[in-house]
Structure 1
Amino acid sequence: MELNTARVFVKDIDAARQFYAGPLGLPLKVDGSPHGYCVFKAGSTELVVEVVAADAPEEEQLLVGRFTGLSFAVRDITEKHRQLVALGVPFTGAPQKQFWGGVLATLQDPSGNELQIVQQPA
């Protein structure tokens, strides 16, 4: 099996579209922002960013502003971190070496969702 689609839930689809296509540089595949979603290419996986309305039920509201578990592979995490910080992307801290040999850094989208960039061990 191969992961086909991942979803991230946001409060503001326009801010999300600008963030994911802008600083993160993900190609916009489908701009459904008038309907509350966008689809981005993230390698061989599609990333669907979907708005949760302010009046949505509480269980849907809880999907926004959390750790997503999504990681984007980069070759040089120090350089990518520097580039993204220069573009105004907020990080929760500097890249950190992990016990398994890789390096991770956690960033936040405009809705407070946490994503990671990862450099795999050599």
Structure 2
Amino acid sequence: MKLSAATFVARDVDALAGFYGAALGLAETVDDSPRYRELEGGGVRVGFAFTGAYELLGLQDDAEVSGLRSFLTFEVPEADMAEAVAQAVGQGAALVKAPYRTHFGALLAVLRDPEGNAFRLVGGAA
């Protein structure tokens, strides 16, 4: 088994998909705007679905759940961390925590996308 995709329910599918494409250089693989768009990066797809997806999936009773419940982590070459953070912020991300060394020794930055979803950038080998 492998994770094939993670999907955000978005208030504005086009804007959020556009943000991740521009901020992180993810390539678009599906464009069913305004209902769904999908980007790919490193073998994992990131989807952006319209709010009507809750009803389509039979999840409308839970659609009022709010708050920070998950986040995605994107690996960038450690040498490019400052540039990657600046690119994301330049596209509308909010920097929550500047790059720092975790207790595991990884270089990590925490940001929020334009709809408030948290995501992380982690430094990897070049």
Same fold (TM over 0.5): yes
Q: Using a 3 Å threshold, how does the CA distance of structure 1 residues 61 and 91 change in structure 2: closer, same or farther?
A: farther
Aligned to 2:21: 21
Aligned length: 119
Aligned to 1:47: 46
Counterpart of 2:88, as a letter, is L
Aligned to 2:122: 118
How big is each residue's C-alpha offset from its partner over 1:62-120, in whole Å with a ceiling of 9 and x where there is no partner? 36x63533100010322321333334422112112100010111111221111111014
Which has more helix, going by share of residues? 2
How far does residue 60 in structure 1 lie from its aligned partner after superposition? 1.8
Counterpart of 1:85, as a letter, is V
How big is each residue's C-alpha offset from its partner over 1:22-51, in whole Å with a ceiling of 9 and x where there is no partner? 2222111111123x2111112111111112
Do structure 1's residue 107 and structure 2's residue 111 form an aligned pair? yes
Aligned to 1:81: 85
**Percent identity for Structure 1 against Structure 2:** 32
Q: Using a 3 Å threshold, how does the CA distance of structure 1 residues 86 and 16 change in structure 2: closer, same or farther?
A: closer
Judge conservation of contact 1:103–1:121 (CA < 8 Å) in 2: no
Instruction: Name the TM-score, length of structure 2 as normaliser.
Output: 0.78
Counterpart of 2:45, as a letter, is E
How far does residue 16 in structure 1 lie from its aligned partner after superposition? 0.9
Instruction: Name the TM-score, length of structure 1 as normaliser.
Output: 0.80
For structure 2, the residue ranges without an aligned partner over 5 or more in a row are none
Superposition misfits of 4+ residues, deviation over 6 angstroms: none
